[in-house]
Amino acid sequence: SERVSISALPQEVLLRVFRFLGPEDLCRCGQVCSVWSQVTRTGSLWRHLYPVRWARGVRQILSLCPNLTHLDLTQTDISDSAFDSWAEFGVCRTLEHLDLSGCDKITDRTLKILSLGLGDLTASSPDRRAKLLKAPPSPIKLQDEHSLPPIGRSCQDLIFKRRPGGRGSGCGPAHVWVLDPAKLADIEDAADWSRRGGLSAQESGRGSIFEQQGGSGSCCCRRSRRRSFRTGISSSHWQYSSMGDALCGHSTCCTSDVSLWTVREAHCDLEATGGSVDFRTKCSFEGESCPEHHNRTDQSGACRTLRFLSLSGCYQITDLGLRCLSQRGGLPLLEHLNLSGCLLITGAGLQELVSACPALNIEHFYYCDNINGPHADTASGCQNLQCGFRACCRSGE
């Protein structure tokens, strides 16, 4: 019979084989060749290896990187507790890109903490809000960069202070990259986003973090909701698909040249409406469980600069979490929002959030096909169809 070399195996088969390997063997396989190296970087392979260290590592990263602009934690086992330091120090004031795809332990609490960390635009006048949105966020500087805490020490021992001359002085934020997206294999949304000339690269003059990639453009994730069909299947449960992980390669499937709204347009919109985003301030969490109870963030530097947010597969998210994001000034610069696989949210919750996101690009707005939400005819459908490792009410169809 014909013998087939292991190097001829398709990547989806390699991925299944690699699932049986431990971290040391995965590292060895990653050094065999470029293809194996790429496959071994797939997030789902590493997801369950060190669940405890994920939380501790993320807490340290968030504490030590106060000027973080890009955070990708795709397919990790992190839970809400990893983000507690955000509410403490407001370190996500400069955050532009947050990808929590596949982080299915995330709940509404993380969104509440995120909203707190981004700051409160409602504390500012409309003029000041518009001014804040034009200026780059002030970087935060570690008071003593040589006194960083050793591994394991509480992140709360850190003291931050604003850089002298901060806002308006022309200093851009120091760009701290926690994880190098170019070295991860499954950052689907981020790759698509960057390939279209990601805003952060255009507006800040930074280079794109991804190389241009070709693709078939035929993947399910790019279809319009108009073309999707609704099955009436209950969204109260979902199942893992047996169709394999590699059927939906989002990072290479999208090639249509969709122009994005620019930050300037978002600013103009905000100014034209007098900053009339639907500002809601009522807290939906109670007592000690409310992250705001511990919040010590200085609100004077609030910018809410988030432009990209993916919660794909975070099926525990509810309307309560969406409401947290729409509070405190909403997300005035947000253009990409992926809520695929968020089975518990409703059309009303989506509508409330969308009303607080005036810059949202409908082409980059994804949610469950079985939810009758805003822009149902034009928004993109769920990205998790036929995806074997993220929540979707229609997986396996």
Applying CB under 6 A, which of residues 302, 309, 353, 392 lies at the interface with ligand FES? 392
Applying CB under 6 A, which of residues 115, 382, 388, 389 lies at the interface with ligand FES? 382
Interface positions, 219-258, toward ligand FES (CB under 6 A): 235
Interface positions, 345-374, toward ligand FES (CB under 6 A): 368-370
Interaction of residue 393 with ligand FES, rule CB under 6 A: yes
Distance of CA 365 to the CA centre of its chain: 13
Q: Are strands 97-99 and 140-142 parallel, antiparallel or unpaired?
A: unpaired
CB of 381 to ligand FES, least distance (A): 7
Cα–Cα distance for residue pair 187/75, rounded to 1 Å: 9
Cα–Cα distance for residue pair 378/146, rounded to 1 Å: 52
CB of 53 to ligand FES, least distance (A): 30
Applying CB under 6 A, which of residues 215, 341, 373, 374 lies at the interface with ligand FES? 341
Q: Which stretch binds ligand FES (CB under 6 A): 132-140, 206-214, 216-224, 385-393?
A: 385-393
Q: Which is nearer to ligand FES, 301 or 381 (CB)?
A: 381
Q: Which stretch binds ligand FES (CB under 6 A): 105-113, 122-130, 243-251, 384-392?
A: 384-392
CB of 189 to ligand FES, least distance (A): 15
Applying CB under 6 A, which of residues 115, 338, 384, 386 lies at the interface with ligand FES? 384
Is there a contact between 129 and 266 (Cβ–Cβ < 8 Å)?
A: no
Sorted by sequence, the CB contacts under 8 Å of residue 359 that are 6+ apart come out as 261, 263, 265, 266, 269, 307, 332, 333, 334, 335
Strand-pairing partners, residue 365, are: 337
Q: Which is nearer to ligand FES, 133 or 371 (CB)?
A: 371
| 62: alpha, beta or left? (left if phi > 0; alpha if psi -120 to 50) | alpha
Q: Which stretch binds ligand FES (CB under 6 A): 27-35, 243-251, 272-280, 378-386?
A: 378-386
> Using alpha carbons only, what angle is made at residue 51 by residues 85 and 288, rounded to the nearest 5 degrees?
35
The enclosing H or E element of 116 equals helix 108-118
What is the dihedral angle through the alpha carbons of 242, 244, 245, 249, rounded to the nearest 10 degrees?
A: -120
Position of tokens 């998790």? 384
CB of 73 to ligand FES, least distance (A): 20
Position of tokens 């993916």? 310
CB of 253 to ligand FES, least distance (A): 16
Q: Which is nearer to ligand FES, 138 or 384 (CB)?
A: 384
Interaction of residue 110 with ligand FES, rule CB under 6 A: no
Binding site for ligand FES (CB under 6 A): 235, 340-341, 343, 368-370, 382, 384-385, 392-394
